[in-house]
């Protein structure tokens, strides 16, 4: 006959193995969170419009390069927003934070946003300058089902 200690140890081992199995199974079955690339769908839509409506290969290449520049700006803005979110949370959690600490975080982020928006606007006008009015009309309709604005706001959300 086995002692109570042996049965208790075996029971504990079985429980531990069941828990480990459960953790492994549930951990492996979760869907990976989709990484949102800021402006990805918008850029794909714009690239396809450029391919469809711009005949000049040189102009087409220049426009596609400008789209890539704009996407770089959006990615930078997404990163800056994530950094801002972390900073503001840290300042808020710090009992000794002052109003100036908050103002500094707000001011730094606002300056960055203004700078990046100005860069994006500059890219937009470079694109427009490369196009004839009828070409611009065809490629500047940037709205898609999910739109740039929705993509950008999703990429800036705090997790």
Is there a single domain that holds both residue 68 and residue 7? no
Please tell me the predicted confidence (pLDDT) of residue 156: 53
- Any idea of the CA torsion for 15, 19, 24, 27, to the nearest 10 degrees? 170
Is there a single domain that holds both residue 134 and residue 69? yes
Please tell me the predicted confidence (pLDDT) of residue 50: 93
pTM of the model: 0.65
Is there a single domain that holds both residue 2 and residue 67? no
Query: CA angle, corner 121, sides to 117 and 88, nearest 5?
Result: 5
Is there a single domain that holds both residue 81 and residue 144? yes
Please tell me the predicted confidence (pLDDT) of residue 73: 92
Is there a single domain that holds both residue 48 and residue 87? yes
Query: CA angle, corner 37, sides to 35 and 41, nearest 5?
Result: 115
Q: For residue 35, is it within any domain?
A: no
Is there a single domain that holds both residue 91 and residue 21? no
- Name the domain count of the chain: 2
Please tell me the predicted confidence (pLDDT) of residue 37: 56
Q: 10-residue block means of pLDDT along the chain (159 residues)? A: 60 55 51 57 86 94 94 91 94 95 95 94 94 90 53 53
Is there a single domain that holds both residue 16 and residue 44? no
* Domain that residue 10 falls in: 1-30
Please tell me the predicted confidence (pLDDT) of residue 158: 47
Is there a single domain that holds both residue 21 and residue 61? no
Is there a single domain that holds both residue 83 and residue 105? yes
Is there a single domain that holds both residue 112 and residue 132? yes
């Amino acid at each position: 006959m086995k002692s109570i200690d042996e049965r208790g140890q075996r029971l504990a081992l079985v429980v531990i193995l069941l828990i480990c199995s459960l953790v492994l199974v549930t951990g492996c079955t979760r869907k990976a969170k989709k990484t949102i690339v800021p402006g990805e769908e918008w850029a794909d839509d714009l690239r396809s419009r450029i391919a469809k409506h711009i005949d000049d290969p040189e102009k087409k290449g220049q426009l596609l390069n400008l789209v890539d520049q704009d996407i770089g700006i959006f990615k930078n803005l997404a990163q800056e927003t994530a950094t801002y979110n972390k900073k503001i949370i840290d300042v808020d959690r710090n009992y000794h934070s002052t109003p100036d600490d908050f103002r500094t975080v707000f001011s730094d982020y606002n300056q960055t946003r203004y700078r990046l928006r100005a860069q994006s606007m500059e890219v937009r006008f470079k694109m427009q300058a490369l196009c004839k009015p009828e070409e611009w009309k065809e490629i500047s309709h940037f709205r898609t089902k999910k739109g740039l604005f929705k993509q950008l706001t999703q990429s800036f959300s705090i997790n």
